[in-house]
């Protein structure tokens, strides 16, 4: 990275990120098309779940970037014990983040959409776990 041109580095590092984001967006579009065939409530639920999914993705990326820095440093120091601890911590934090999200969705899903919209809340909770 210290000797290559900036344009080459952008192509090598940026292109996979762009492709990844494109695949994620296409997944959401295709998912919406298929879900729209179920019913209107399901599509509405998917649309309402999208921001929560984005927050979950942001938390995951934030954890990944931070732990990647720790692991990279430890690898550079050739400190295998620190690498092992950071890897275990990353798996533990991923499960904790998922568990917290699941708990909050199950706890508050029905309260956010009272009355007739309770069906929508069930769809949202299902969409967030898939």
Give the pLDDT mean for 104-126. 65
Structure tokens that stand for 52 in this block: 């929560």
Residue 60: per-residue pLDDT: 83
Total-model pTM: 0.62
Q: 99 with 110, same domain?
A: yes
Which of 3-12, 17-26, 41-50, 55-64 bottoms out in mean pLDDT, i.e. has the lowest? 41-50
Give the pLDDT mean for 5-12. 81
Q: 84 with 67, same domain?
A: yes
Q: 21 with 51, same domain?
A: no
Q: 89 with 122, same domain?
A: yes
Q: 105 with 51, same domain?
A: yes
List the domain range (segments joined by +) for residue 20: 1-37
Is the pLDDT reported for residue 100 higher than 60?
A: yes
The Cβ of residue 120 has, within 10 Å, a number of other Cβ atoms equal to: 19
**Measured on CA atoms in the order 46, 96, 107, 129, is the torsion positive or negative?**
positive
Residue 17: per-residue pLDDT: 81
How does the average pLDDT of the chain come out, rounded?
A: 79
Instruction: Please give the tally of structural domains in the chain.
Output: 2
Which of 1-10, 92-101, 117-126 bottoms out in mean pLDDT, i.e. has the lowest? 117-126
Closest Cα partner for 108 from 118, 98, 116, 99?
A: 118
Q: 49 with 88, same domain?
A: yes
* pLDDT bracket for residue 23 (50, 70, 90): confident
Is the pLDDT reported for residue 115 higher than 60?
A: no
Q: 27 with 66, same domain?
A: no
Residue 5, SS3?
coil
Residue 92: per-residue pLDDT: 93
Q: 32 with 81, same domain?
A: no
Give the pLDDT mean for 22-35. 83
Q: What is the DSSP letter of 116?
A: G
Packing angle between helix 118-129 and helix 80-112, nearest 10 degrees?
A: 170
């Amino acid at each position: 990275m210290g000797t290559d041109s900036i344009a080459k580095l952008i192509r090598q590092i940026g292109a996979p990120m762009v492709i990844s984001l494109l695949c994620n967006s296409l997944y959401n579009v295709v998912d919406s098309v298929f879900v729209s065939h179920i019913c209107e409530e399901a599509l509405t639920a998917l649309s309402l779940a999208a921001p929560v999914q984005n927050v979950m993705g942001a938390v995951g990326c934030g954890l990944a970037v931070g732990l990647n820095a720790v692991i990279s440093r430890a690898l550079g120091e050739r400190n295998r014990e620190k690498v092992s601890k950071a890897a275990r911590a990353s798996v533990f934090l991923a499960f904790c983040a998922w568990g917290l999200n699941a708990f909050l969705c199950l706890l508050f899903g029905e309260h956010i959409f009272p009355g007739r919209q309770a069906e929508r809340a069930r769809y949202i909770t299902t969409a967030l776990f898939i």
